[in-house]
Amino acid sequence: MTAAVESQEPTAVPTQRPAARRARRPRRLGLGRILTLPGQMVSVIVLVVPLSVAFYMSFTDWSPTRGSLLDAAFVGLENYWELLVYDTRFIEAVIRTLALTVVCLSLEFTLGLGLAVLFLRKFRGKSLLFSVLLTPMMVLPVVVGYTFWMLFQSNGPINQIIAFLFGADATPEWFREAPFAMTAVIVTEVWHWTPLFFLILLSGLNAVPDNLTRAAVILGAKPRQVFWRVIFPVLKPVIMVALVIRSMEVIKLFDEVFMLTRGGPGTATETISLYIYKLAFADFQLAYGAAAAFLVLVGTLFLVSLLLTPVSEQLIKSRR
């Protein structure tokens, strides 16, 4: 076919006029570069430049009340030293955010997988129920935070149900005590994002070839063996993608907590994002906040790069 010859890849027919091929390649590269250029420019201007400024700033003692950033005194690693050694609030926020990530992701994954497995069965109204169960992930984070703030009020519906089931003495003040406030944050986050796990895991399960599981069953495999030996290996890359993408989001968690608790009571539910926000925009310690932001950035990069390799392989594979 002539069309195939036109698209000559270097590996295809090695004997065919190498000179002509070499002449065409730079032009193809040129158009590719031009097409990706606007995107690259936006990324550089809007991400790289601010990050470079922030990086410089994190080595100074600048604050907006002291005039220009260029005149600010250079303090070297002082901000970083302070954060890592003395700032217990920062360390606590980091640990809290990591713990929150582990708890939320475990719950979301378990619930999402359970629901997805149920959806392998046949029942009426399945496609409607599927759509309805996805609704939470389409709601704005701010609205989710506000809604659960209302639900968890001391005279709100959740306490009404608790009072009905266990008596009026059992109702907690959700936002006054640390464990309860943390529970409220977790419940909110799990309600919001379990549907994403459900969606991704269901599409993964549906991709498991029917005849593979059927063959395993005929060969006498027990359901548990079918799951771990046949389904799980196919599902694994999908699970990795879901976990990586969600963990990136939970580490950044801000909107819902801002609406729900503002990090309170005290700093009991303060996430890293919330702490950096307060440093920069409530206390105006911009240089110090920038240093905190960079520590978070380096930490996240490290964590995610551990998990990212399988995902990027998946991305490259899906290119076909």
Q: Considering only residues 191-250, where is the footprint of other proteins by CB under 8 A?
A: 191, 195-196, 199-200, 203-208, 210, 213-214, 217, 231, 238, 241-242, 245, 248
Distance separating alpha carbons of residues 155 and 157, to the nearest angstrom: 7
Residue closer to other proteins (CB basis): 183 or 314: 314
Residue closer to other proteins (CB basis): 8 or 103: 8
* Nearest partner of 298 among 51, 99, 123, judged by Cα: 51
Residue closer to other proteins (CB basis): 182 or 259: 259
Distance separating alpha carbons of residues 133 and 111, to the nearest angstrom: 12
Work out which of 21, 172, 254, 264 binds other proteins, going by CB under 8 A: 254
258 part of the interface to other proteins, by CB under 8 A: yes
135 part of the interface to other proteins, by CB under 8 A: yes
- Chain centroid to Cα 24, Å, comes to 41
Work out which of 174, 259, 261, 268 binds other proteins, going by CB under 8 A: 259
Encoding tokens for residue 109? 């994954």
Work out which of 13, 95, 99, 142 binds other proteins, going by CB under 8 A: 142
Distance separating alpha carbons of residues 214 and 125, to the nearest angstrom: 26
Work out the number of other CB atoms within 10 angstroms of the CB of residue 249.
16
Helix (H) or strand (E) holding 116: helix 88-118
Residue closer to other proteins (CB basis): 83 or 231: 231
Residue 158 CB, nearest distance to other proteins (Å)? 9
Residue 173 CB, nearest distance to other proteins (Å)? 15
| Ranges within 64-123 binding other proteins (CB under 8 A) | 64, 69, 114-115, 118, 120-123
| Ranges within 4-23 binding other proteins (CB under 8 A) | 4, 6-7
> Do 101 and 251 touch, CB atoms closer than 8 A?
yes
Encoding tokens for residue 216? 């395993």
Distance separating alpha carbons of residues 305 and 312, to the nearest angstrom: 10
| Dihedral (CA of 186, 192, 195, 196) sign | negative
Distance separating alpha carbons of residues 52 and 49, to the nearest angstrom: 5
Residue 133 CB, nearest distance to other proteins (Å)? 6
Work out which of 10, 12, 13, 33 binds other proteins, going by CB under 8 A: 33
Residue closer to other proteins (CB basis): 18 or 50: 50
**Mask for 276-305, x = binds other proteins (CB under 8 A):** xx--xx----x--xx--xx-xx--xx--xx
| Ranges within 150-169 binding other proteins (CB under 8 A) | 150-151, 153, 155-157, 160
> Do 259 and 146 touch, CB atoms closer than 8 A?
yes
| Ranges within 261-280 binding other proteins (CB under 8 A) | 272-274, 276-277, 280
Region binding other proteins by CB under 8 A among candidate stretches 34-42, 75-83, 88-96, 178-186: 34-42
> Do 311 and 87 touch, CB atoms closer than 8 A?
no
Residue with token string 């295809």 = 12
